[in-house]
Amino acid sequence: MAQIVVVGVASLYMAAGVTGEFPLEYAPVAEPDWMQAGVTGSGAHIAKVLNALGDEVRLCTLAGTDPAGLTIRSDLRANGLSDEGIVDAGATWIGAVLVAPDGRRMSLPYMAAMSAVAYPAETFHRLAAGADLAVLTNARFCRPLVAHAARLPVPVAVDVHLISAIDEPRNRPWLEVADILFCSHERLPCLPEDWIAQVFASYPGCQVVGIGQGAEGALLGLRDGTLIRVGAVTPRGVVSTAGAGDALFASFLHGWLATGNPVDALRTAVLHAGWKLGQPMPGTASLGNAELARLSQSHRVPVLVERWDVPSGAGQAGPAVREPAPPPLSRG
């Protein structure tokens, strides 16, 4: 069981299934196909996934004592997460997400009331003491903590979500400290394989780069040149893609810490994320290790091990070429 500190948003969300495709046509009244409320946000979702898989998680987040904030605190406790790291911000993150029939989503996060609130560094340091890993989301309130996380004697894992440039100013502080970096393919300025090479060339401290590819699964590059491709699996079909990237990221971190095997970790992470796609609000349900193991027995996840540092067609390795060595992530 790993000890992990997570810094990120916990938000009260309402999700609604809408009819038709984006952009939606105006109507004075439109009855949704379904509707569900729950506590999610990247920080809360990542923490819930890790906790369900058996890790000891300390969540650093902000919430008020208004009805939304009290709901978040109660939900986190019900999911086995302590509220020790919840700092009263005088307001609470809330949001809505519209979900199309094909699972695509349009998120409407409301964060204006929290944009100027800082998280106390001393609380972060107290909760990070003795941790095996620090997980930093790229929420605005996390930025002052990036430098503090960089000084910890543990690896730092970062998910920058919809990034579009290798030197993007908004995300650069996180890019510079990440030992493990995840993102979505949706706005990348180049092929995912080229993005992996660019990250390793631009940020020498980074050892692992993961990319969620939606319906095509996920890619993972290691600094030693290994490229792991895992195809998508959707055991329950697709209801909503909201939160799939958080599930992929968190599940990989758990598997990597538990086994040191990036192939198995990514395979299991893609399966868990695919299972969550069958939830109206993926952040409200997670599998435990035993449930995930049973799902692995009934659903084959395609895996290919190649090289990102070899030009296409120049002798790339095929499947099951070798098991890559675990990257040396400890900062001592």
Which residues lie below 8 Å from residue 71, measured CB to CB, with a gap of 6+? Answer: 12, 39
- Reduce the DSSP state of residue 139 to 3 states and report it: coil
Contact 67, 39 (CB under 8 A): no
Question: What residue spans of the chain are helical by DSSP H?
Answer: 42-52, 67-78, 121-128, 143-150, 172-177, 192-202, 244-259, 262-276, 289-298
Which domains, ranges and CATH numbers included, belong to the chain? 3-19+36-307 (3.40.1190.20)
DSSP 24: P
Q: Please choose, from the candidates 59, 49, 245, the residue with its C-alpha nearest in 3D space to the C-alpha of residue 161.
A: 245
Q: Please choose, from the candidates 87, 104, 106, 88, the residue with its C-alpha nearest in 3D space to the C-alpha of residue 96.
A: 106
CA-to-CA dists, residue 301 to 27, 255, 266, 267, angstroms: 42, 15, 10, 6
Per-residue pLDDT of the chain (332 residues; tens, 9 = 90+): 899 999 999 999 999 999 888 888 889 998 999 999 999 999 999 999 999 999 999 999 999 999 999 999 999 999 999 989 999 999 999 999 999 998 888 989 888 878 788 999 999 999 999 999 999 999 999 999 999 999 999 999 999 999 999 999 999 999 999 999 999 999 999 999 999 999 999 999 999 999 999 999 999 999 999 999 999 999 999 988 888 999 999 999 999 999 999 999 999 999 999 999 998 887 788 999 999 999 999 999 999 999 999 865 443 444 444 445 556 565 65
Quick: pLDDT tens for 233-280.
999 999 888 889 999 999 999 999 999 999 999 999 999 999 999 988
The whole model's pTM is what?
0.91
